[in-house]
Amino acid sequence: MEIQKKIQDIKKLIPDNVSLVAVSKTKPIEDLQEAYDAGQRIFGENKIQEMVEKYDALPKDIKWHMIGHLQSNKVKYMAHFVDLIHGIDRFKTLKEINKQAKKNNRIINCLLQAKIAKEETKFGLSFEEISSILESEEFAELQNINIVGFMGMATFTDDKNQLTEEFTALKNFFDALKSKHSNLEILSMGMSGDYELAIENGSTMIRVGSAIFGNRNYKP
Ligand SMILES: *Cc1c(COP(=O)(O)O)cnc(C)c1O
């Protein structure tokens, strides 16, 4: 019941054009089933093996999003079903996804992860790196992936000015590239602590875990 209420509360706060990814990493199948019964259909996981186990156990109309940092050698385990891959920050990973998508006769939708946080530890590509990937001939040859947008993780801080600055920078970059690359339509920004601010600053997809499922016992 708790999970259902939290999903309903969040849905009331977000506009129709923003999708909610329920981040269910580390949580048991029963919790995901409860969210599913409340109408939730998009789930985000950060470990491929865990996502595969949950995919096998749960209804097949769920859209599975991989939001974690990817190990290329594991892409093959999810290539037949993954709906969207958020955290791509190397060209090499795109090549591997393309190869596995081709084997499965699919086109896999992907988001490039932009580095927007000032913290040193966060993964992600610079805006220049993203532009050069999208312009490159090597990229044009990858027929089985579709880059549909960008993903960003802001600094872990309560400083609203800093968060706004980071979200806005990615939104402006996204808008600038959208005019040249018509496939770009998704801007994945915002988590439990900052999704309202992310939406105010242009997010079209939020990734919310603890605000739905409660705190996780171990670190993501
Ligand atoms: C865990 C995780 C989230 C969700 O975090 P919460 O703060 O629990 O909402 C969102 N995005 C990514 C990439 C994550 O790894």
Pick the closest to residue 35 from 8, 4, 6 (CA basis). Answer: 4
pLDDT of residue 120: 73
| pLDDT tens, per residue, the chain with 220 residues | 699 999 999 999 999 999 999 999 999 999 999 999 999 999 999 999 999 999 999 999 999 999 998 888 999 999 999 999 999 999 999 999 999 999 999 999 999 999 999 877 668 999 999 999 999 999 999 999 999 999 999 998 999 999 999 999 999 999 999 999 999 999 999 999 999 999 999 999 999 999 999 998 765 4
Q: How far does the centroid of ligand 1 lie from the alpha carbon of residue 209, in Å?
A: 6
Q: How far is C-alpha 85 from the chain's CA centre?
A: 6
Pick the closest to residue 207 from 42, 35, 37, 51 (CA basis). Answer: 42
Please tell me the distance from the alpha carbon of residue 86 to that of residue 12, in angstroms, as a whole number.
Answer: 25
pLDDT of residue 123: 82
Q: How far does the centroid of ligand 1 lie from the alpha carbon of residue 149, in Å?
A: 18
| Ligand 1: residue whose CA is nearest its atom 7 | 192
Residue of 191, 197, 212 best suited for mutating to test ligand 1, as the one with most atoms within 8 Å of CB: 191
Residue keyed to tokens 């590239």: 177
Q: How far does the centroid of ligand 1 lie from the alpha carbon of residue 118, in Å?
A: 18
pLDDT of residue 158: 92
Half-sphere exposure of 140 (CA within 13 A, CB side): 5
- Please name the residue ranges forming H helices in 14-90: 29-37, 48-57
| Superfamily name with CATH number, domain 2-213 | Alanine racemase (3.20.20.10)
- Ligand 1 atom closest to the Cα of residue 21 is 10
Q: How far does the centroid of ligand 1 lie from the alpha carbon of residue 46, in Å?
A: 9
pTM over 0.85: yes
Q: Where are the beta strands (DSSP E) in the chain?
A: 19-23, 42-45, 63-66, 84-88, 108-114, 145-152, 186-189, 205-208
- Ligand 1 neighbours (beta carbon < 6 A): 23, 25, 46, 67-68, 153, 191-193, 207-211, 220
Buried/exposed 174-199: b ≥16 CB within 10 Å, e otherwise: beebeeeeeebebbbbbbbbbbebbb
Cα–Cα distance list, 56 to 51, 92, 102 (Å)? 9, 28, 22
- Show me where the domains of the chain are located: 2-213
pLDDT of residue 85: 98
Cα–Cα distance list, 24 to 43, 95, 151, 161, 211 (Å)? 6, 27, 18, 29, 11
Structure tokens at 115: 């580095």
pLDDT of residue 219: 53
Q: How far does the centroid of ligand 1 lie from the alpha carbon of residue 157, in Å?
A: 14
| Ligand 1: residue whose CA is nearest its atom 12 | 67
Neighbours of 38 (CB within 10 A): 17
C-beta separation of 183 from 150 below 8 A: no
Pick the closest to residue 219 from 137, 128, 125, 156 (CA basis). Answer: 156
Q: What is the DSSP string of 96-140?
A: HHHHHHHHTT--EEEEEEE---SSSS---B-HHHHHHHHH-HHHH
pLDDT of residue 1: 67
